[in-house]
Structure 1
Amino acid sequence: MLMVFKLQRLIQLLAIVMILMSWWGNSYAKVDDLYDKTALIFFEVINVVEDDVLYIREFPSPQSRKIGYIPPRQSCVAYLNQLREKNSQTWVSITYKGVRGWVNLYHLRQLPRGECPAGYYKVINVPANDVLNMRDTASHYGSQIGQIPPNENCLPQLDQSYASNSQKWVMIRYNNTKGWVNSYFLKKSDKSACQ
């Protein structure tokens, strides 16, 4: 009888360990996915208490200057395809409400594909013989990092920001490049047609 009891106890402990391992494995983003430069990855914020925030850092370090923050449980935080390992910690580059920076991967969980982006865009107001320039910052003064044809459709939205002159800028992805475009040149596409 004692042997049966010990065996039942062992099975219960193994079940608890399996549950905890499953939770731990699902509680943060899978690093292997982050090495795929073509993947469109979004996160939700985890492991941040309700009355706190997740700080966005200028560089991948907890001592780096705070340049923004993300509230707890926020989702659709876009990954910008940069990853750094430092002192046994993994840091990822993200964008949130126009702020590009670094956060510790411990505070992020990868969302299932298709849950984000919030929307898709098509190019408008660009002549047929011209291109739409993508910029590295949400400004006409940002460096040009890509060009989009005038008839392009289903460009996924990663982020948005408002410039000081109240112009709306949208971060989109085109040909695996992520950059900012003035919203004057964009129109919402039907999300169901783009997925």
Structure 2
Amino acid sequence: MKSIDKVILGGVVVASTIGINYNIASADILSQEIYTTTNRLNMRKGPSTDYTLVGTLDKGVKVKAIEKSSDGKWLKINYNSQNVWVNFAYLQKDKSSNNDIKLDSQYETTANVNMRKGPSTDYTKIIIVPAQTKITPIKSSSDGKWVQINYKNVTGWISAQYIKTVSTTPTEPEKPITGKDYYTTANLNIRDGASTTSSKIGKIPNGTKVSVVDFNSNKTWAKVVYNNKTGWVSAQYLSTKSQEPEQKEDTYWTGTTTQNLNMRKGPSTDYSIIITIPKNSDVKIYETKSGWAKIKYKSYEGYCSASFIK
């Protein structure tokens, strides 16, 4: 099979590019689905036969989809590290391609699942994500069998067979009643009018009790009193029930010191030393940032250089 570069150098006859304004901005994003060519297929610089021909694909070649043109007739693919367009009529979706994973949608884990550094069991385990954890995929592997997620500020890959979709049916927000106490369900802007275009006059933290003194005609905004300020907040973020603080799990992964290592009170050598941890000691790692690790050793908790932990 010839690469794109070889075909171009080989002197393929090309048509002149016509500056047609195709609506690519509204094209469908396909998140790396796999397709197979069903015939010998031309590759072009844009989604039309008016665009320059840059090479050909043989029948049976697997390609990764990037996006579909707005008319659905052309597919943008990545081949030999170049992005080109091919006629969608001569492509067949590969059976191993997983079309179910939707990025930026909410899923839930169905079991305790290992998070790994890459999309394979060959990669190192980072942390265990508990069953019934709400997650949002960032990326999907090319075969659709793994998804990349962020859980408790740790980013890694988990097996897609252990996740399921979560119902996103919206619930009817509570309507504010004048003179009644409510609790905020999110960090909430307080404004001088009942509109997002009104000026902000403060911010109310999540879980704060406020008194509703009035509301607009359709009850989508509530007038509240907070810290001696009277202003308007979005009513959908008010609840009659106090929000209990989330119970944090003791989530960590383990490591071993590669030399005698100073534990400090903060993530810098400017902080005082708590204890010196002997070489080859096991530690619990809760977080890594800017070259420092937040750890626990025996009953001590502090920070040390992450470069000396494996």
Q: Do they fold alike, i.e. is TM over 0.5?
A: no
TM-score (structure 2 length as normaliser): 0.24
Higher helix share: 1
Structure having greater relative contact order (Cα 8 Å, sep ≥ 6): 1
CA radius of gyration, larger in: 2
